[in-house]
Amino acid sequence: MNVFKKWAITGIAIASVFPAYGYSVQAEETNTATEHHKYQVALSTKNIPEGIPRFVYDSGLTFTYPDAVRGIYVTGHSAGGENFNRLVQLLDKTDLNSMVIDIKDDWGNVTYRPEDPNSPYAGIGKNYIKKPVEMLKELEKKEIYPIARIVVFKDSLLPKERPELSYMDGNAVWKNGRDESFVNPFLKEVWDYNVGIAIEAAKMGFQEIQFDYVRFPEGFEKRDSTLKYSMGEYEDLKMDNTQKRVQAVTDFVAYAREKLQPYGVKVSVDIFGYSATLPEAPGIGQNFSKISENVDVISSMIYPSHWTSYFGIAKPDLEPYKVVAEYAKLENQKLTELKTPPISRPWLQDFTASYLGSGNYKKYGKAEVEAQIKALKDNGINEYLLWNAGNHYTQNVDFTP
């Protein structure tokens, strides 16, 4: 039996749910007294009145939330290879204090091999991070806050086995111009597949789950009537397709947060920076305010290189302080409109965007990274994450200007 059919049959081992309390309980057979005890404690919470503390899964690891998260992105290859020690040393000698580590990557791979051979993800795990729990213990020792990055709806692996969970272009699974596939945010089965991976990460000891690519493919509004796909439970809603997409994405975020509640983790979502500039991004289904209402942390990707002529800045990559400051002002306003705003923790640029062409980019180094951090701080935002796809971060930066 292939892994995807196994996962569908077993219901990704998230088994029993108590809707009245929003608790997900692990109901598969357990092999140790400790696991059995945790399961029984969870069951015992079913009839506890509101306001009384419920069971929270204990990974056995202890982390303290930093004064402010100042983090870096770490691939599965880096986390499981020689690069890991270099990155730990970087955090050891600077004011950086957190790592966002790929647990499900941009192609759909799970970056470690689950120890449990019965895990529904055992067949798709890669051996990038050979000993994830040992890695987390090292982070615990170094007081480095661990965040698990899970790429949700961009997934080129799942559609190969389950094309009905994706979009069909004729008889083939649709791919974008970068040869990437996506899975369908309208389908609850896709939600559960990703939430199951998030739960495994939380049980390992990650303190936060960061969902990325929580959206439909870019430009989907131009192909939503030509591709073949299911709208699932959203088919009969009395709203147009744009609003259906927004509703599906928002619902997924709320659902994931609810299912992760028993594991004591924060939930964060990466979102396009331009989504905050619009009432909602029509094609991809992202509504900044609605997503923000359902997460603990919102991480807008505000790399100067990714803007066009927003904020009256003709060449944003050349003016990192100005573009980040202008965005921060806009985001602050949006968040003040919410009853319970999340922590703002934007992604910043620590790479050179030479692909923009001569005259449109500059080499990014110490001054450019510090300019972005200062622009956030000047606008009351103290948390941030640095992105470099190869995990090579600028040296000698003042990370707390």
Break the chain into its structural domains and give their ranges. 3-301
pLDDT at 255 over 70: yes
Q: DSSP secondary-structure letter at 128?
A: S
Which residue spans within 54-156 are E strands per DSSP? 70-74, 98-104, 145-151
Average pLDDT over residues 221-242: 95
State the pLDDT at residue 279. Answer: 87
pLDDT digits (tens, 9 = 90+) for 73-100: 999 999 999 999 999 999 999 999 999 9
pLDDT digits (tens, 9 = 90+) for 149-193: 999 999 999 999 999 999 999 999 999 999 999 999 999 999 999
Q: Is 3-301 in CATH node 3.30.70? A: no
pTM (2 d.p.): 0.88
For all residues of the chain together, what is the average pLDDT?
Answer: 89
Question: Rg of the Cα trace of the chain?
Answer: 21
pLDDT band (50, 70, 90) for residue 15: very low
pLDDT band (50, 70, 90) for residue 55: low
State the pLDDT at residue 56. Answer: 78
Task: Provide, rounded to the nearest whole percent, the portion of the chain with pLDDT above 90.
Answer: 81
Distance CA 45, CA 23 (A): 9
Q: Which two tokens stand for residue 144?
A: 């480095």
pLDDT at 217 over 60: yes
pLDDT digits (tens, 9 = 90+) for 281-334: 889 999 999 999 999 999 999 999 999 988 999 999 999 999 999 999 999 999
pLDDT band (50, 70, 90) for residue 49: low
Distance CA 268, CA 345 (A): 9
Q: Residues 199, 24: contact at Cβ < 8 Å?
A: yes
Distance CA 156, CA 107 (A): 5
Kindly write down the DSSP assignment for every residue of 200-254, as one continuous string.
HHHHHT-SEEEEE--SPPTTGGGTTTTSB---GGGTT-SS-HHHHHHHHHHHHHH
Average pLDDT over residues 40-66: 65
State the pLDDT at residue 168. Answer: 97
Q: C-alpha angle 337/273/298, rounded to 5°?
A: 55
Strands 168-169 vs 172-173: parallel, antiparallel or unpaired? antiparallel
